[in-house]
């Protein structure tokens, strides 16, 4: 895994050329869009006036102009997004590891998402993109952005709620875990303090037995469920727990992990899309790329941590 300094160098030397070209394209598109917005905005005045004279005509013209507006906007920014993905993101992925392959339109399958048992609720809508797969050392990995939602019907209509939105990462191991272990963000301990929090967590038998870990900072932030007390501690060594804790403190994102059969699932949630290039703000921003890189680093770092201890998982 490369360091941030190496990333910065790559960013400044290799990536900057493409970024500048795309940035030019972006400013052109931004200007075009502003023009379209102004023209169509003004154009809507006519249908509004007409609405008071001949309502039907007003409505039809209004809808027509809105459709035209959307059509023009999409046409203007077409190609920009896919250009960004194929040039910039593709190259970042290759920089991280030459063996990784990038498929902008693909995603982790819903079957695998459910197999992680991190989010037991079946989603009514399941989307994702920016799929990557390959090998880190001896371990096969794959990940993508995922957005899963459920809906509720009320008299106001259908409402959509997010179950999970963020980076979903899977790594294959060569041997099977004896049982399931899960690490989830700790809500109860935060709300109710240790004694009651622990009691409530113990009640949640659905997820298996509560396993109390010996790193107090980790325990405050996460709750561990599993069926085998020893195997859970075998996986969650003091150094792995530290790594996860540090990441959570720095990124302030919710992290979910599970270890089932022969796979490790890591889900890191956040509210925005990782790779959607913005139109109205500059592309030349190292922080955007750094943030993505750090999320990837956690996921790959976990794999490396479990590899480097020369475990043969006997």
User: Based on CB atoms, which residue is closest to other proteins, 50 or 213?
Assistant: 213
Alpha helix ranges (H) inside the chain: 4-10, 16-43, 45-53, 55-77, 80-84, 90-96, 110-115, 188-203, 216-221, 229-235, 238-251, 286-308
Query: If binding means CB under 8 A, how many residues of this protein chain bind other proteins?
Result: 17
Residues 209/228, Cβ–Cβ less than 8 Å:
no
Please tell me whether residue 175 binds other proteins under the rule CB under 8 A: no
Q: Per CB under 8 A, which region of 51-59, 85-93, 153-161, 230-238 contacts other proteins? A: 230-238
Are the beta carbons of 133 and 168 closer than 8 angstroms?
Answer: no
Work out whether 312 is an interface residue with other proteins (CB under 8 A).
Answer: yes
Which of 74, 153, 280, 314 binds other proteins (CB under 8 A)? It is 314
Binding of other proteins at residue 234 (CB under 8 A)? yes
Q: Is 205 in the site for other proteins (CB under 8 A)?
A: no
Do 210 and 223 form a contact (C-beta atoms < 8 A)?
yes
Nearer to other proteins (CB atom), residue 152 or residue 239: 239
Q: Is 309 in the site for other proteins (CB under 8 A)?
A: yes
- Taking the alpha carbons at both ends of the chain, their separation in whole angstroms is 27
Q: How far is the CB of 170 from other proteins (least distance, A)?
A: 23
Among 135, 190, 212, 250, binds other proteins (CB under 8 A): 212
The binder of other proteins chosen from 105, 214, 217, 246 (CB under 8 A): 214
Name the minimum Å distance from CB 235 to other proteins.
8
Our finding on whether 199 is near other proteins (CB under 8 A) is no
Of the listed pieces 4-12, 86-94, 109-117, 233-241, which binds other proteins according to CB under 8 A?
233-241
Regarding 311 and contact with other proteins (CB under 8 A), the answer is: yes
C-alpha span between 31 and 278 (Å, rounded) = 13
Judged by CB under 8 A, which stretch of 33-41, 72-80, 90-98, 211-219 contacts other proteins? 211-219
Of 103, 196, 303, 3, nearest to 11 by C-alpha is 3
CB within 8 Å of 89: residues ≥ 6 apart: 102, 104, 130, 275
* C-alpha angle 235-238-241 in degrees, rounded to nearest 5: 75
Q: Which residues bind other proteins (CB under 8 A)?
A: 211-214, 229-234, 237, 309-314
């Amino acid at each position: 895994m490369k360091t941030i300094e190496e990333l910065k160098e790559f960013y400044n030397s290799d990536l900057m050329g493409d970024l500048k070209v795309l940035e030019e394209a972006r400013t052109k598109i931004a200007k075009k869009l502003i023009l379209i917005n102004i023209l169509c905005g003004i154009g809507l005045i006519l249908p509004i006036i007409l609405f008071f004279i001949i309502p039907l005509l007003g409505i039809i013209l209004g809808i027509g102009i809105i459709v035209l507006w959307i059509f023009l906007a999409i046409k203007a920014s077409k190609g920009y997004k896919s250009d960004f993905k194929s040039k910039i993101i593709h190259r970042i992925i290759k920089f991280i590891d030459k063996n990784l392959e990038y498929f902008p339109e693909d995603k982790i399958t819903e079957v695998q998402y459910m197999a992680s048992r991190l989010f037991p609720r079946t989603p009514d809508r399941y989307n994702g993109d920016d799929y990557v797969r390959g090998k880190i050392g001896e371990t096969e990995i794959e990940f993508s952005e995922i957005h899963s939602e459920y809906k509720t019907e009320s008299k106001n209509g259908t409402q959509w709620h997010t179950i999970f939105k963020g980076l979903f990462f899977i790594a294959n191991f060569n041997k099977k875990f004896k049982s399931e272990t899960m690490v989830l963000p700790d809500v109860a301990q935060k709300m109710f303090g240790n004694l009651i929090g622990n009691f409530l967590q113990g009640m949640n038998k659905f997820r298996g037995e509560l396993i109390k870990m010996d790193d107090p900072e980790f325990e405050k932030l996460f709750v561990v469920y599993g069926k085998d007390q020893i195997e859970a501690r075998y996986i969650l060594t003091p150094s792995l727990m530290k790594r996860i804790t540090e990441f959570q403190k720095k990124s302030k994102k919710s992290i979910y992990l599970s270890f089932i059969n022969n796979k490790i699932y890591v889900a890191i949630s956040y509210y925005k899309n990782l790779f959607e290039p913005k139109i109205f703000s500059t592309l030349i921003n190292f922080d955007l790329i750094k943030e993505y890189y750090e999320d990837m680093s956690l996921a790959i770092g976990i794999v490396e941590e479990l590899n480097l201890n020369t475990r043969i998982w006997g």
